[in-house]
Amino acid sequence: MNSNDFKRINPYLYEIPASYRADMRAPARFYADAELLRAALGDKSLDQLVNSATLPGIVAYALAMPDIHQGYGFPIGGVVATRVPDGVISPGGVGYDINCGVRLLGTRLNREDVAPYLDQLATQLQRNCPHGVGRSGEFVLNQKQMETVVRQGARWALTGGYATEEDLERTEENGVIAGADPAKISARAFERARDQLGTLGSGNHFIEVDVVDEIFDETAAARMGLVRGGVVAQIHCGSRGFGHQVCTDYVARFQRVVHQYGIVLPDRELVCAPLSSPEGQDYLAAMKGAANYAFANRQLLTHLIRRSFAETLAGAVDDHSVYQIYDIAHNMAKIEEHEVDGQRVRVCVHRKGATRAFGPGSPVLPEVYRDIGQPVLVPGSMGTASWVLVGTEGSMSQSFGSTCHGAGRMMSRSRAKKEVQGGELRRKLEDRGIRIRAGSLAGLAEEAPQAYKDVDRVIEVVHGAGIARKVARLVPVIVVKG
């Protein structure tokens, strides 16, 4: 693909017309500026976006956010809505880490309060929050307990004293998606995940302690309790081996039956099934269960972060309490209503590496945020800024209430490990005052800032395009990695 294959709709939006390829059922649109456009042309992500526009039942257009990069079948940063009940659902449009997401926690502390305790706090976070490939935690569940988590999500943690009602209220879907069915999930998935609740995992997952660097929307920031110089914490993780196994199982099952439905695809990784089919309904029920597991996972990590702050700061500062600001998913398929060609239509919105960004007035938002729009959490790469945004009317009218989820990779993990020395990267970050706790130097190298796009540039695009609005910029002082 080259620049002659698409047109520029406005300074931040480009379109590949449906006439580009005979099998496209809709145009393909993507958000970018000139530099991000060059990056997108550097891999196969735009070709994957075009492929996703061939899915049966797609409405309006296939979309990609400015953090677009190559993924499994769909590009990461992709958004596709298919008509309910006649459209399809695709595991590749959700991803292997179902309900990978971000949770932002607030405190009433400022930089000066925590400065003398950063090393101790970093160590406590590393000690209390298990991280790394296959790591288990203190919460080991039997089959019955696992099935309860699948049905109840983060609400399961409430009964054990690991959550508050405010936590649940400030979580997407209140921390539980109705319709999950443990019977649709394999024994292998349950076995992989029975000891992984309350663990971080590896890759680009992290726990951070950040300081609010800039405020752009005083009203929205005040509603969230964000002040310049204030201390917050972030969690970025998902459903661990549970979601991965659910995706693996259903990709294999869909591959066996896709031709029975007369579906022809340009890439087998796009494999899908009609949403109304037994396979489609089973995947939806299993995916919801994995999503609920992820909500519970981030809730237990919240409990462990609260413990870490208390163990480090109790007796040192007057108020070390940690409250929840919001929790959002960015690998999910959701049944929603959106306006398409002037009509309200029920659709299955696939958001893969894209986050929900509902605008002001949405009835699904917590009352505290309903008039300002949904908080949107966009983490940067390790050592760079992260952002707090809010959803807008523009996101509802343009992008099925969606926006970007991060910076977006520019360099593969294998290439990053070849080009970046983990020890040198660690020294550079610590010279900037960032406390690093990581499982391995190779893991650090994989997540080096230079392996990612400039998150500030990505945010300028979504803000300029009107699919999210800037509220606050955060900078890290502690990073815990798997």
pLDDT in tens, 364-381: 999 999 999 999 999 998
Asked if the structure places residue 435 within a domain, the reply is no
**Contacts for 387 with CB less than 8 Å, ≥ 6 apart:** 377, 378, 380, 455, 459, 470, 471, 472, 473, 474
Asked if the structure places residue 419 within a domain, the reply is no
Q: Is the pLDDT of residue 468 over 70?
A: yes
DSSP state of 117: G
Residue 166's closest CA among 116, 248, 106? 106
Question: Can you tell me the mean pLDDT for 20-39?
Answer: 96
Looking at residue 447, its pLDDT comes to 84
Looking at residue 132, its pLDDT comes to 63
Q: Is the pLDDT of residue 440 over 80?
A: no
Lowest pLDDT segment from 140-144, 337-341, 414-418:
414-418
Structure-block tokens of residue 28 = 């393909």
| CATH code for the domain of 282 | 3.90.1860.10
Question: Can you tell me the mean pLDDT for 266-289?
Answer: 97
φ, ψ for residue 429, nearest 5 deg: -65, -40
Q: How many C-beta atoms surround the C-beta of residue 140 within 10 A?
A: 12
Q: What percent of the chain has pLDDT above 70?
A: 99
How much of the chain is in helix, strand and coil states, percent to nearest 5?
40, 25, 35
Cβ–Cβ < 8 Å for 379, 360: no
Residue 351's closest CA among 134, 92, 177? 92
**Which band of pLDDT confidence, cut at 50, 70 and 90, is reported for residue 136?**
low
Asked if the structure places residue 142 within a domain, the reply is yes
Please confirm, yes or no, whether 405 is among the known catalytic residues.
Answer: yes
**Which band of pLDDT confidence, cut at 50, 70 and 90, is reported for residue 202?**
confident
Q: Is the pLDDT of residue 482 over 90?
A: no
Asked if the structure places residue 471 within a domain, the reply is yes
Residue 19 labeled ligand binder = no
Asked if the structure places residue 446 within a domain, the reply is no
Residue 330 labeled ligand binder = yes
Asked if the structure places residue 434 within a domain, the reply is no
Looking at residue 137, its pLDDT comes to 72
pLDDT tens digits, 221-269: 999 999 999 999 999 999 999 999 999 999 999 999 999 999 999 999 9
Q: What is the largest CA-CA distance in the chain?
A: 68
Q: Is the pLDDT of residue 451 over 90?
A: no
Question: Can you tell me the mean pLDDT for 69-76?
Answer: 94
φ, ψ for residue 185, nearest 5 deg: -115, 135
Q: Is the pLDDT of residue 389 over 80?
A: yes
Question: Can you tell me the mean pLDDT for 185-203?
Answer: 93
Q: Which domain holds residue 393?
A: 3-86+99-410+452-481
Cβ–Cβ < 8 Å for 478, 437: yes
Q: Is the peptide bond before 85 cis (omega within 30 degrees of 0)?
A: yes
Q: Is the pLDDT of residue 337 over 90?
A: yes
SS (H, E, C) 123-176: HHHHHHCCCCCCCCCCECCCHHHHHHHHHHCCHHHHHCCCCCHHHHHCEHHHHC
- Cα Rg of the chain (Å, integer): 21
Q: Please state the domain count of the chain.
A: 1
Asked if the structure places residue 425 within a domain, the reply is no
Residue 332 labeled ligand binder = no
Asked if the structure places residue 226 within a domain, the reply is yes
Residue 131 labeled ligand binder = no
Q: Is the pLDDT of residue 154 over 70?
A: yes
User: What integer best gives the mean pLDDT of the chain?
Assistant: 95
Residue 175 labeled ligand binder = no
**Which band of pLDDT confidence, cut at 50, 70 and 90, is reported for residue 4?**
confident
- 244, 338, 350, 405: which one is catalytic? 405
Residue 380 labeled ligand binder = yes
